[in-house]
Structure formats: structure tokens, C-alpha cells
A and B are shown apart, each in its own frame.
Chain A
Amino acid sequence: MTSFAKPIIDLKNAPRNALGLTRQDYEGAMSTLCAGCGHDSITASMARAFFNLSIEPYRAVKVSGIGCSSKTTAYFLRESHGNNTVHGRMPSVATGAAVANTGLTYIGVSGDGDSLSIGLGQFAHAMRRNVNMLYVLENNGVYGLTKGQFSASADIGSVSKKGEVNELPPIDPVTLALSLGATFVARGFSGDREQLVPLIEAGLKHNGFGLIDVISPCVSFNDHPGSTKSYAHTFKYYHPAVHADYVPMAEEIKASYDAGEAVSVKLHDGGAIVLRKLDADYDPCDRAAAYAQVSERAARGEIITGLLYVDESRKDLAALKKLPKRPLNTYPYADLCPGAATLARVMDRYR
């Protein structure tokens, strides 16, 4: 994971966010991925979402596992702590970090190998626990760093660069997440930033575990005819069903929506996620219906995208654990140690 510092160019008229920061303030080291990699586009979308939301970079935490996708946490938010953990185990590190300090914004970046094979267990359990984090799964159906093996998300019939045909059924992160009780389930495409950036914003603002499965073609090992994760294939079968925008509290109060066209989901911070249905019959607030729709479209070979399911009502891990508002890692020792007198009293139970 070589990294090169990116030159910082002072652009006088660069747009600034509410904190007065420019987009450059949300960038990281130079990417060392292959030219044209979908992941780089996702990295740019993440940086843009943080910029748009005016989150101070140092108040964000980036965590990742191992693989091409996991390297990308070095390529945005250079003023954030990053933790490039071990293969498939990022969710547990994120979980521990998130309970230690509930005051920061957590973003996890992983891939289909990291999340759906070696790390399937941790991925599933982080969703069950509703850890307050956004989990971006950069999905290309292939192991890039080890040069082209199928991953668990490869579709039946998909052909590898060497000509092998995959016969195993794919693990679909979206239907998996729906079945495990995930509270924010989305799918995007690295080739559609118009859709992806608002999805990331909504996912960052969602209270609980947000999953965005992003189809992200691998130009080196999985972008050939016969691959179902290539740019050409994805563009052809890609179908946005629900568009989501995050609207901050101030704007939410002013805005009004035409009934039937948009649905507003209230967030804990007072803002809202505004859902625009592109498919009139799709209901992103009904888990069973969403599961049925996603499965049916997949059977037809369609790649349904957008915010496919959202539920703001469930408690996140911090609430389930009754954690205080004040982050655990900031409590003074005096509030944690019961002291000598208490110990002396307790000892009487053991005589």
C-alpha cells in the first residue's frame, strides 16, 4: 500500500463549505489503484459527501480491512484517523471504536472479498448490532490484489478473465442486509456520482448501521465481456429505483413535498432523508416488500439501485447499551473507580 502525498494547490476561488473548508481539505494521499478503477470514483464521492455535510475531517474515523477497497481509506480525509485492520475484521474494530467514542462519525470501507467471504460473520453481526457507522462495500466480484479469483459476489455464469465460469450462487449484500435487520440498505454504482454522493450523505446521517453496496468495476481483472461486474454490463442493467437526499434541519422545515412523489424520513439530528421514488410501486420503508422487489429484479438480471430500505426507528448499538451522551473515553477516572471505601464495604460479602 504505497502512498504518495498529493500536492495541495491553493485555489483562491474554490467553493467552501459551512466550515470554510475547501474540497481539497477532504482529500487524502494519491491513489495507487489502477487507472480507471471504480474505487477511486467512490473515494471522490466520499470526500465530496463529507465536504457537503461540513463534517470536520478530524472528527471522522475511517476503518477498513484488507484488499484494494480497504486501501482507499488513505486516499480521502487526510486529517482523519484511519485504521487499516486485518482481513475481514474491520467491523469488530469499528464496533469497539464506536462504543468507546460515540461523538465521532465512523465510515468503514470494505470490498466483496473482505465482507462476503473472510469477513461475512463480522459484517453480519455489525448489522445485527446496528453499529452507528456507514459501511461502504466496494463490490467488483473479484479478488484484485491476488489477481483475479472470483469473489463470493460473482454471479452464476460470470466469466473470469482466464475464462473460468462461476457456478456458485452469489452472496448479495443487499438481500443479506435486509434479512439481518439492517436499518439502511442502499446500492450504488461507482459510475453514477449524482446518485452516490447523496446516498453517502444520507448514510452518514442515518442513526445506526448504513450499508451501501457500490458496484465498482475492476478494470484490471473483471471488466471484460462475460463479466457481470463490468462497466458495460452495469451500465446496461443498472436501474435506479429510489433516489435519496439528505436535507439538514433548517431546510427540512422550509421544504414541502408533493404527496406521492417524495417521502421524508426524519433523522435524529432533526434533518431528514428525502426519498424520491423513481419506481412508483417501490416502497423503501417496507422490509419484506423491499426484499421481494430486490430479489425479483435480480432474477431478471437487473441491478436495482438507490436507497432500497430505511428504518430510523430502531435503536443503534449505543442506545441498546444505554451508553451516556458523554463518550466513554472521556470519563474522568474518578467517575469509573469506586474507590477504597467502597471496596472495604464490598469485602464484607466475602468473609
Chain B
Amino acid sequence: MSKPGINDFTIRLANVNGTGSASANGLLMKSIFRSGVPVVGKNVFPSNIQGLPTWYEIRVTKDGYGARSGDVDMMVAMNANTYAQDIASLRPGGVLIYDNTWPRQHVLSRKDVTVLGVPLAQMVNAAFTAARSRVLMKNMAYVGAVAALLDIDKTIIETLVQETFAKKTKLIAPNMQAVALGYDYAKEHFDCPLPFHVQKMDATRGKIMIDGNTAAGLGCVYAGATVGAWYPITPSTSLMDAFKSWCREFRVDEKSGAHRFCIIQAEDELAAIGMVIGASWNGARAFTPTSGPGISLMSEFIGFAYYAEIPAVLFDVQRVGPSTGMPTRTQQGDVQLCAYASHGDTRHILLFPANPAECFTMAADAFDLAERFQTPVFVLSDIDIGMNDWMVDTLDWDDARQPDRGKVLSAEQLDQMDRFYRYRDVDGDGIPWRTLPGVHPKGAYFTRGSGHNADGTYTEKEAEYQEVVDRLKRKWQGAADKVPAPIVRPARGGKARWGIIAYGSSDGAVIEACDRLAAQGINLDYMRVRGFPFAQEVSDFVEAHEQVFVVEQNRDAQLRGLMLLETDLAREKLVPLLHYSGEPLASHFVQDFILAQDRKEKTA
């Protein structure tokens, strides 16, 4: 455990839901980012609109690590109901800031931390009269106090406030007044800055801060998606909100006002996926954002699209299950659900973005894969990626990129044909040609979820049925080297006996753990899996190591389960490393597990 230092510490802010704290906390984080210092932000919030506790964590990381460390060096305790828990989570030597308008002696019960009281309510109530602005300005006042303690440039905060209220300029002055209240109080009463604080760097050039749902919505626009159907569900709602706002910006005809997009809020998830399938079948790029409960409901239609070979793109922004579970907490609990969704022999293509930048690129990839393979494709994001602002490389786009619309026969091609058969494997790649309604009389066929043969007509004949489902499996296997390839990060310290596999939002924690373990003499090669079906490299990677840790954010080691099902790898080689509390994975968790494993081996 390293000590906090310059540009290397974590602030945790404990708030009450519905008090406007999230914007103030976001602003605080952005001000550090604008100082050129890498940050990680995690919003841990309840399934509630107002009143329950909520936490925001800002990790300042000069090394640019992408996860929580697991430590808390500064606690801004703004929720009296969680004081006890909040002070307990500070590590020795940490600093706690609280509103001492109402002194609370028990807060001072811990001797190994520094407690700083700021009369936030008192100062704000004296300066502002309206009840709501008193609540909101208290947030800005603690931002000011923290800025003074951490030596954050106040002009950066001012610029951010001006940008935030660009359309409501009269709010700029009172917000800056509130910042000044906290800032000046801290300067006057405390030794500023603290030993750990912010110092300007130049490590955020070329970086942005964006959440995964916004990036995925943008990716859908760049992919050329025109139809989006959805049913509101946390945490995927903001993906469709983003798509809508991007479309309003880029897809409304200036003259006629016509929309080159169609978003339908469906009556439920069953209808949402039905609309996506209808639109895709008719030649539009269509998608639905949802979460685990939505996938459960969509499963019947997913099997239909699989068997009838209709493209569909689904974003599953995973939350904690089972059932309603914890809707605002993060998990990777839908991996196996999505891999084999629906009854009968079904198998699907999955993509695992690890951050918002990959939400953007994989959104575009998903449509290409869905149309190329004429099948549902799942993009498995999660709350951590979807709803937190992450620091990632600036998104870019290659104007030469053209969408892969897959094997669709044109009117001219159909005209030249004697007869069209929907499910014949004419190219030997397991992918048949398809036709769109309204293009040519020869293109007509009857799409069905009932048993059909290669010609597309109904069948109950054994051989004809098997011919189609065997081809479907070959087709799916063909996607193994078309999904985004796994990324290997070799051990820094030379040849490694052990490997580690992770996917999705575990990436940042695993990278950091590998570095910290290397410093302690434990070398690990790291492979990040980005797609399913698995590429051959996944098996090769495991084979090349004595033991491989499979890091997952679920209880049942779901990806490991897929690996055991889909490859011949030995069960003993794959060691589950599981985190499923609902909080985003911290690097310490991974590190501690492997250290324990190392000790066990040495004592054995």
C-alpha cells in the first residue's frame, strides 16, 4: 500500500441522493483533469431519486491507472447518516472534511485521521436565501474547501462554472461565491495545501472524459443506425438519451425538419427487440439498449432472430442480478445469459468493451458483425463503464470506413438469378445470402422460426433440419476471428509462469495489479478477452501458462464457464478471481488475491 502523494490519492465524497452533489463532484473531478492530471471517477449511487446515501470517488492518479485503488485518503462526509461508515473507510493518515455547523464529537473518535470541520451550512445560509440554492451551494462550498486543501487552480474551477452555466449566466456569480466561501475558509483555518495534493501536469493531452453510454450512443450514429427501440431501464436509459440527442444534432434535415432516425419507446422489452428485428429484417440498422432483466424478456425473440438469421444489435449495460437485484450497482452477471440466450441450441456473438472508447468503436463493430453474420450481437457493457466518466483517448473516426452490410442481394443480382433460396450455403462460409422486402419479386421468401430447410421452406425432415442448425454453428464459429481480437500485455519482468485473463471494466484494475505485483517479483502475462466466440489465441494463452487467473465481476465465474464449455482447456488451470459486491473492481482486490495465492504456493 503506497502512501498518498502528489497527484496520487483518492477522494471519496459521501452525499445524500437528490441534493445535486453529482454535478459538483463531477466539476471537482474535471478541474483536476483540466490541471493535466489523470483521474478516475466512480459514482456509487442508490436505486432512489432522493434521500438515500450516495458516494462519489475521485482517484487522482499520475500514472494514469484506470480503476479504483481501494484506498480512501480524503473523505468529504456530507451525509450524517453514514459518518460512522465513512470515517471507518479512511486509511490511517487520511483527512476527513465535514460540515461542523452542527458539531459532532463522535466524528472525532478516530485518532489516526485528521478531521477538518468547515461550517458549510452556516456560511451558505448566511449568503443565500432560497431553500434549494442553499442545498446546491453547500456542494459548491465544499468544492471550494477541497480545492484550497488540494491546491486546485481556482481559475480552472471558474472556467468550468462558466461553461456549465453558459446558458444561465446569472448562476455563475452565486456559484463562484459559494466556491469562494469554502476556499477562503480553508485557506484561513487550515494548512493549505495538504501533503498530498494536485500539481499541474501534462498527462491528459489527447484525452477526454466521457461515459460509456454517451460514447455507445455516438457509436450507433457513426455506424449508421437509424432505428432504436427500447424500454426504459437503469442503467441503459442514458444510452438511448444520448443517441436521441446526437441524432437531433446530426440527423434532422434543416429544411424539412425530417428525421433520418426513428426512436420508439416500446411498451416492454419484448416489443423493443421485436421492433429491432422488424427494422433489421427490412434493411435498417437497428438496436436496443437494455440491461439483464431486459435480456431475460427478449430471449424468445433472440432465438427467433438467431434461427431466422436476422441481424440485431443489443447493448446490455449490466447491473447486479439476479431478478431486480441492485439496479444501480455494477456486475458482469449476464455473460452466460447472453452467450446462449433463448431456448434450443442457440449461441451468440458477444463483444466486451472495457471503457467508453471501446463502447464507441464496438458499437460500430457490432452492426457490421450483426449484418455480416445475420444474427444478434450483444455489446456487454456495465454500469461502471456506462454511467461513469472515464478518461480515454479522444475518439476518432476513419472517413474511409464503410459499413459492412453483409450479404444482401440487390435487385440487379436477383434479376440475374434463376431462383433465390434463403438458407443455402453457396459460398461455403456458413453465411447465406439474404434479400430485403420490396426489392425484387424473386427475392421473396417466408421468414419463419419454425423448422426450415436450406431452401427456406418448412420442414420436419431430420436431415434438412440438421443441415441448417449445423451450418448455424459453423457460421457462429466463423466469427471467432472477426470479433475484436484479444489484447495481450506481456509481463514486464520477463517470462511469466502465470497468466491473467479479464474482460470489460476489470481492465484498469488488472493492469495496475500486474504492475504492482511485478514490483514484488510476481510476473503475470495479461490477456484481455474482447469477444465471443473465443479466438484461438485465448486457448493458446492458457496453454502457455501453468495457471491462469480469470478475473470476473460475478459469483459464478461465467466467462471461465464459457471457456470450459467452448475449449478443451483443463479446469484446474483456470483459477477464478471473482468480485461481485456491486462496487467497481479495485486494483487491491486483484493484487491481494494473487499475493495470497503466491504465499500459498510458497508455503505448500
A residues neighboring B (CB under 8 Å): 1-3, 56-59, 61, 63, 73-74, 78-86, 89, 91-101, 103-104, 121-122, 124-125, 129, 321-325, 328-329, 331, 333, 335-340, 342-344, 346-347, 350-351
B276 interfacial contact with A, CB 8 Å: yes
Query: Assuming the A-B contacts A92-B275, A92-B278, A96-B286, are A338 and B437 also in contact, with contact meaning beta carbons closer than 8 angstroms in the complex?
Result: no
Which residues of A sit under 8 angstroms from B398, Cβ to Cβ?
340
B257 touches A96 (CB 8 A): no
Per the 8 Å Cβ criterion, residues 250-297 of B in contact with A are 250-251, 253, 256-264, 266-268, 270-284, 286
* Any A CB within 8 A of the CB of B396: yes
Besides A96-B229, A100-B262, A321-B264, 13 other A-B contacts (C-beta < 8 A): A58-B438, A58-B443, A78-B444, A85-B277, A86-B300, A95-B271, A99-B227, A122-B267, A325-B258, A329-B279, A333-B403, A340-B398, A347-B394
Question: How many angstroms between the C-alpha atoms of A166 and B268 in the bound complex?
Answer: 30
Chain B contact residue count (CB 8 A cutoff): 73
Q: Is A336 touching B226 in the complex (CB atoms < 8 A)?
A: yes
Which B residues are closer than 8 A to A by beta carbons? 34, 207-210, 218, 221-224, 226-227, 229, 250-251, 253, 256-264, 266-268, 270-284, 286, 300-301, 304, 394-399, 402-403, 435-441, 443-450, 457-458, 460
Q: Give the shortest distance, in Å, between A58 (CB) and chain B (any CB).
A: 4
Flag if B281 contacts A340 (CB, 8 Å). Answer: no
Q: Which of A58, A74, A95, A340 contacts B275 (CB 8 A)?
A: A95
Say yes or no: B275 contacts A93, CB within 8 Å.
yes
Verify B458–A350 contact, CB threshold 8 A: no
Given contacts A1-B450, A58-B444, A122-B274, A337 and B222 within 8 Å (CB-CB): yes
Asked if B438 and A337 make an inter-chain contact with CB atoms under 8 angstroms apart, the answer reads no
Q: Which residue of A lies closest to B444 (CB)?
A: A79
| Known A1-B450, A97-B281, A328-B227; contact A104-B437, beta-carbon cutoff 8 A | yes
With contacts A92-B266, A99-B279 known, is A329 near B258, CB below 8 A?
no
Check A82 against B279 for contact (C-beta < 8 Å): no
When distances are taken between beta carbons in the complex, the residues of chain A under 8 Å from B457 are 3
Known: A92-B271, A125-B271, A351-B208. A329 touches B282 (CB 8 A): yes
A82-B227 in contact (CB<8A): no
In the complex, what's the smallest C-beta–C-beta distance from B588 to chain A, in angstroms?
A: 29
Give the CA-CA distance A96 to B288 in the complex, in Å: 12
**Minimum C-beta distance from B408 to chain A (A):** 11
* Residue of chain B at shortest CB distance from A348: B208
A50 to B431, CA, bound (A): 34
A122 pairs with B304, CB closer than 8 A: no
Indicate if the CB atoms of B210 and A350 lie closer than 8 Å. Answer: yes
In the assembled complex, 13 residue pairs joining A and B whose CB atoms fall closer than 8 Å, in A order, are A56-B441, A79-B441, A81-B443, A82-B445, A84-B449, A99-B264, A99-B275, A100-B262, A321-B259, A325-B258, A336-B221, A351-B207, A351-B209
Are A85 and B274 in contact, CB atoms less than 8 angstroms apart? Answer: yes
Chain B minimum-CB-distance residue to A342? B250
The distance in angstroms between the C-alpha atoms of A103 and B250, with both chains bound, is 24
> A59–B266 Cα gap in the complex (Å)?
27
